[in-house]
Amino acid sequence: MNQDYILPNNWSIIEEGFNAESVKSSESLFSLGNGAMGQRANFEEHYSGDTFQGSYIAGVYYPDKTKVGWWKNGYPKYFAKVLNAPNWIGIDVEINGENLDLASCKEIKNFRRELNMKEGWYSRSFDVVLKNDTEISVKTLRFLSLDIDELGAIKYEVTPINTDAKVVFRPYLDAGIENEDTNWEEKFWETLSIKNDENKAFIVARTLKTKFTVATFMQNSILVNNTTADVLPVEVKKGTSSISFSYEIAATKGQTVAIQKLGGYTVSTNHEEDYLIIAAKKVLQEAQSLGFEELLNKQKDVWSKIWEMSDITIEGDVKAQQGIRFNIFHLNQTYLGKDSRLNIGPKGFTGEKYGGSTYWDTEAYCIPFYMATKDQNVARSLLEYRYNQLDKAIENAQNNLGFKNGAALYPMVTMNGEECHNEWEITHEEIHRNGAIAFAIYNYHRYTGDYSYIPEKGLEVLIGIARFWFQRATFSTHKNKFVILGVTGPNEYENNVNNNWYTNYIAKWCIDYTIEQIHKIEKEYPSDYTRILNKVGLSTTEISEMKKVADNMYFPYSEEYGVYLQQDGFLDKELITVANLDKSQRPINQKWSWDRILRSPYIKQADILQGFYFFEDHFTKEQLEKHFDFYEPFTVHESSLSPCVHSIQAAVLGRMEQAYTFYLRTSRLDLDDYNKEVHEGLHITSMAGTWMSIVEGFGGMRVKNDKLHFNPKIPKEWNSYSFKVNFRNTIVKVEVNHQETKVSVEGNQEMDIIINGKKYNCHAELISASKK
């Protein structure tokens, strides 16, 4: 834990007291999103202190040219920037001739901000004494509409405390935006037009290279004592890429004056370019007809429906409850499944680090959450996203690796199917991501029971991936086995190693699973079988050759320790455990050189435990225990994806104290800033792992033989917990306390459910009296 200023609360993230040192962290933590756009929690008014301004539009990106010292064949041509979009939230405020700026005022009192996760809004309030000795009270409330996802709304109130005041609100739009991280300090936007009409303004801007066109818009209204006043701007200022209005209001002491600002984006991905302003006016017209309060009420209603299905309740542990709701809230802010062209970026709408919108995190961590808390079509859309980019994956393997015959290597990072990660060592060594994409197809069928995706689209993806592994493996005459050389596993603290166990294992599994599906489709879907094999040119001879690779894959193993080795050279390292590492050296990725990290035994996230998580049924509990005990002491958990897997595995082993500790780390990774990097943005995709750590870890949920299984456990710190899952279009609620487990099925349906190994036929409510 590296920060502890967020107040414990079941439904809100709350900060009290102004601290300039935490501004950037709070901008991340209090971020807003609605699946179509999002923004960091920047102040509306001008702030001259250290800040990270960020607004983002889903699917809009910029191909920043890769910057490297020495070019290597295979380097991606660009690093896709999650693009900082034109700013619509800005409202400069002037009081009696002085600008409001929390970085330069005399005194700040009663500062408070709240992110209300239950209702989906963000607020701030504070009293401030300006340099001219005017004291005012400020209250703001902001939300991004889930109902009208091109729209956001702000209410900004000012009340003079010690004197009458001339209040000037200057709402503005600014398209002259730069990213925090640019390789060449390039401008990413060009402004095409700036227009205004009474209280409305529009800036149309286009991204260079990618040619996304966006209309950023605003409409303002002034209120005095909560009543709309007929006030027009006294001044309109247009710059080369900005526009601002000035509204002047005379406020008596104690009188509240406010500006309501509606704003947002219409984008050429959803509208004809010539009609972006017309589309924006329609959004504003609809919003204006509803009014701010009704828009807010609709926001609360939509969030209520989301929470009805996705909430996890925890009784007796407020920090644990706050942590899981924070994770679920941001997952739903980032992706709602409305647009199949979109995916779940690792920072969502909270920052720019990493670039790209799609990592293997989606398939490995996020799909289980969306399968269980949404309609299964949402998860299917995430699978189809990869199918739609299969051609690009084949091009990637062909053009960069020289592979043939339809072998597919999916990108480590992508926006449109092309690889856009800027490190050669990651893009062409961390090939295990191919396996997660195949596993997601298997996992989707296992959970939903919907096999139709595989003959329709999935098998083509599986064949491309299997062909990749077949061609990537090398036969070692020394070992008389197939090996996979020069890779990086999920543990990125070992680069360019040979025979990473996780990579070899998932490669074998992918080939075996693909061949199994080929035979199944041949028997049960003959027309699809003929269509697919003709399309991809797959022969029985090639299938046989692929099978030989899978059957003869090499897996490094230590007879001395009785464990699979992360890679061939792991035991050559100086095996000093994390417990013996000086705390002043943590996190090592911020304190050590990369060379020192690569020579160390320290694990960013466990490769082998990830494999044991995916393929739990392939190993005994005793094997899991032995590998957990061997590798966890070397694991520094400096990947956000690490603690959740360890929490699940510790729960399987009945080590609830460890499982609980890892759960807190994953659920409060950002709230408590474990890795000292929350100012850069939140870890959105690992948040799905937090959900898994409760549902699959403590709840012990598994799908076996088409049946839902639970093996519930409960941390001693909790009184009870509950969650819902949508299993094959039936809503199942699970409630666990220290005495019993209750399972109920909604509606008139019935279902066989296995709890602690015993089958129950569940109609309405089931009580298992087993002790926890």
Q: In what order do the strands lie in the sheet with 165-174?
A: 98-99, 91-95, 165-174, 242-251, 235-238
Q: Which of 157, 429, 492, 632 is catalytic?
A: 492
Contacts of 468 (CB under 8 A, 6+ apart): 397, 403, 407, 408, 409, 431, 434
Q: Is the dihedral of CA 537, 543, 544, 545 positive or negative?
A: positive
72 and 422 Cβ atoms separated by less than 8 Å = no
15 is known as an active-site residue: no
Q: Distance (Å, rounded) from C-alpha 377 to C-alpha 396?
A: 28
Helix (H/G/I), strand (E/B), else coil: 136 = strand
Q: If you search the block for the tokens 């050389």, which residue do you land on? A: 485
CA-to-CA dists, residue 206 to 57, 210, 241, 267, 652, angstroms? 13, 9, 11, 10, 52
d(CA 177, CA 188): 8
Query: Which residues are registered as beta bridge partners of 219?
Result: 200, 262
Rounded to 5 degrees, φ, ψ at 607 are -70, -50
User: Residue 664: what residue type?
Assistant: L
Copy the structure tokens of residue 388: 């739609």
The beta-carbon contacts of 752-756 under 8 Å, at least 24 apart in sequence, are 752/707, 753/707, 753/708, 753/709, 753/710, 754/704, 754/707, 754/708, 754/709, 754/710, 755/709, 755/710, 755/711, 755/712, 756/710, 756/711, 756/712
Q: What type of residue sits at position 110? A: N
Taking Cα atoms as reference points, which of 91, 92, 90, 82 lies closest to residue 37? 82
Secondary structure (DSSP) of 737-771: ESS-EEEEE-TT--EEEEETTEEEEESSEEEE---
DSSP SS3 for 466: helix
Q: How many residues are recorded in the chain?
A: 772
Alpha-carbon distance values, 28 to 31, 39, 61, 108 (Å): 5, 9, 20, 22
Burial class of residue 219 in the structure, from the number of CB atoms within 10 Å of its CB (0-12 exposed, 13-18 middle, 19+ buried): buried
- For residue 410, with 0-12 CB atoms within 10 Å meaning exposed, 13-18 middle and 19 or more buried, which class applies? buried
Helix ranges, 262-410 (H): 276-290, 292-310, 318-334, 361, 367-373, 376-387, 390-401
Bridge-based pairing state of the strands 707-710 and 751-755? parallel
The token pair at 717 is 């710190």
| SS3 category, 578 | helix
To the nearest 10°, the Cα dihedral for 168, 173, 176, 178? 100
Helix (H, G, I), strand (E, B) or coil at 154: strand
- Distance CA(221)–CA(155), nearest Å, equals 10
Residue/partner pairs of 553-557 with CB below 8 Å, 24 or more apart: 553/473, 553/481, 553/482, 553/504, 553/505, 553/507, 553/508, 554/476, 554/479, 554/481, 554/482, 554/483, 554/499, 554/504, 555/499, 555/501, 555/504, 555/505, 556/499, 556/501
Catalytic residue numbers read 492
